[in-house]
Every structure is written in C-alpha cells, then in structure tokens.
C-alpha cells in the first residue's frame, strides 16, 4: 500500500501556465484522511512552496531546492547546503561563460546580481523571497546556500550542461528545465530527500510513489517503488522510467492519484 506521494511541480503537477489544479487541495485532504503523506518536491524555494500550498501547508512535507532543504510544519528537518569555499569558485566559472546568469538560493532568500530580461522577470516571478544585490560574492556566508540556479539564454541542454560539470568537479550540475540547470552539493538531490523522509517517517520504498518530468527528478523516482513521468517529460527520463501518465496539461498526476485511491492502492 502507498503511504507517501511526492510530485515535482513545474512540468509535472502544474499546468503550462504554472497553475496548480484546483482539485489538488481536496485530494491532499483525502490522502491525509487515508494516512498518506503528500510532498511537493521542487527546485523552488520554501517561501514560494508554502505560499502555493497555503491551505494545506501544515499537512504536507516540503522538499525544496531540489532536495537540499526539507521543511515540515515550519521546521527544518534536513539541509544539505553548498560549502562556502566552493561558492566563489562556482560563481566565477559561471560568470566566465556567456549567456549564463547565476542565482544563489539560500534557505530563506534567493539572490541575483543581474537585471537582464527575461532572467530578472523569471527570478522575481518564481521566487517569492528574491533580492537583487550588487555582487553575489557579498552573500556568501550570510546564510546557507542550497543551490545555484543557472539561467541559460540559449538552452541548458545545448549549452551550460555541456561545460559546467567539467568546470565544477566538486559540485553536482543537473538539468532542471529547458533553460535552467542547478548546481548543488554532490549528495544534495531529491533522491537523498526521499531517503531521509523514509527514515524519518518509517516508510519502505514500496510504500512510496513519485512523479517527475526532468533529470533533477531521476533520483527521487528511483527511490520510490512507484515512479511515473508525464507524457511531456524530458525524453531521456521517459526512456529511463517507462511508466508514462497523461501530460501536465491534462492533469496526469491528479488522474493517476485518483486511480490509486479508486484501486485502494493507498491506505493507512
């Protein structure tokens, strides 16, 4: 029986306009009544996720910053930041490449130093707590940095992901969207977060289900007994996972969870 469900947001649960399906809140309440813990699992920051899921904020566990931060009922359960000594090196390497714009994602705030469009607009829309500073170097040491989100003007799969991993050997660089890649501590990912949650809440792998659409979801999907990707998912991930549900535009996650409930696959 499934006792835990985690889902990515952008490209997975959210529609093409980045809106939550209206059915999600009563569905989470139904899952809670059945004893199933629900987890939004995203590269987004905690402040943004908490705002997005405000009606059920105390009923879900938040997997934030691609797994580097886990929050539950306002408390930090787990944090895996980038070591400060690697941050300056990473920023210098990212700045040295054209078409790339870095964002430091802390436990409380996100920080940017560029105001070029559309990067500036994307940053301010996606991060509830976002500050522009003159120099990101001044942020180092201010708070734990969970990841560096890198916006690529060209396309992340065609540009930055081909060069950054070699330039940042002490860190983990992964695709997180069409024009984004994320740089984090080597062991910080959604799969690590799932393993932590399983230990914290006494869950077995076979009692967990997950949904995701891009490569930053792969470890999470691998750590759950039931793993699904929407039809619109990144093709290499679809090939790796195999279980395909309807696209995010067709609310495939909602449909699949309802099928699980109807088939009595979820239970306390």
Tell me which residue has tokens 């690590």. Answer: 192
Average pLDDT over residues 4-14: 96
* Statement: residue 198 has pLDDT above 90: yes
Q: Which helix (H) or strand (E) holds 255?
A: helix 252-262
In terms of pLDDT, which residue wins out, 106 or 16?
106
Average pLDDT over residues 184-201: 96
DSSP 5-17: EEE-IIIIIS-TT
Report the SS3 class of residue 239: helix
Residue 49 main-chain phi, psi, to 5 deg: -65, -40
- C-alpha angle 175/172/108, rounded to 5°? 85
CA separation for the pair 91, 88 (Å, rounded):
5
Q: Would 4-79+188-262 and 84-184 be classified into the same CATH topology?
A: no
Asked if the 4-79+188-262 domain carries CATH number 3.40.50.720, the reply is: no
What number of residues does the chain have? 268
What letter does residue 131 receive in the DSSP assignment?
A: E
Cα distances (angstroms) measured from residue 52 to each of 14, 46, 210: 11, 10, 19
Over residues 38-84, the pLDDT tens digits come to 999 999 999 999 999 999 999 999 999 999 999 999 999 999 999 99
* Statement: residue 211 has pLDDT above 70: yes
pLDDT band at 97 (very low <50, low <70, confident <90, very high): very high
**pTM metric for this prediction:** 0.92
Among 77-81, 150-154, 233-237, 264-268, the range scoring the smallest mean pLDDT is: 264-268
* Cα–Cα nearest to 196, from 102, 100, 67: 67
pLDDT band at 235 (very low <50, low <70, confident <90, very high): very high
* Statement: residue 257 has pLDDT above 70: yes
pLDDT band at 267 (very low <50, low <70, confident <90, very high): low
Domain ranges of the chain: 4-79+188-262, 84-184
* Statement: residue 263 has pLDDT above 90: no
CATH number attached to the domain at 84-184 = 3.30.1240.10
């Amino acid at each position: 029986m499934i006792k835990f469900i985690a889902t990515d947001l952008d490209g997975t649960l959210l529609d093409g306009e980045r809106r939550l399906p209206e059915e999600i809140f009563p569905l989470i309440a139904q899952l809670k009544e059945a004893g199933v813990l629900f987890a939004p699992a995203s590269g987004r920051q905690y402040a943004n996720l908490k705002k997005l899921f405000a009606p059920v904020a105390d009923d879900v566990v938040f997997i934030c910053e691609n797994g580097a931060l886990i929050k539950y009922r306002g408390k930090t359960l787990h944090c895996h930041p980038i070591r400060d000594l690697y941050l300056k090196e990473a920023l210098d390497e990212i700045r040295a490449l054209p078409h790339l714009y870095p964002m430091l994602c802390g436990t409380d705030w996100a920080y940017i130093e560029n105001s070029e469009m559309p990067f500036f607009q994307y940053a301010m829309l996606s991060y509830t707590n976002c500050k522009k500073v003159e120099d990101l170097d001044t942020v180092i040491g201010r708070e734990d940095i969970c990841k560096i989100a890198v916006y690529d003007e060209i396309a992340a799969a065609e540009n930055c992901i081909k060069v950054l991993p070699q330039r940042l050997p002490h860190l983990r660089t992964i695709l997180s969207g069409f024009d984004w890649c994320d740089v984090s501590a080597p062991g910080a990912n959604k799969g690590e977060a799932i393993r932590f949650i399983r230990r914290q809440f006494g869950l077995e792998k076979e009692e967990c289900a997950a949904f995701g659409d891009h490569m930053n979801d792969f470890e999470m999907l691998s750590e759950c007994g039931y793993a699904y990707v929407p039809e619109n998912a990144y093709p290499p991930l679809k090939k790796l996972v195999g279980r395909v549900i309807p696209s995010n535009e067709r609310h495939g996650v909602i449909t699949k969870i309802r099928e699980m409930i109807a088939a009595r696959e979820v239970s306390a």
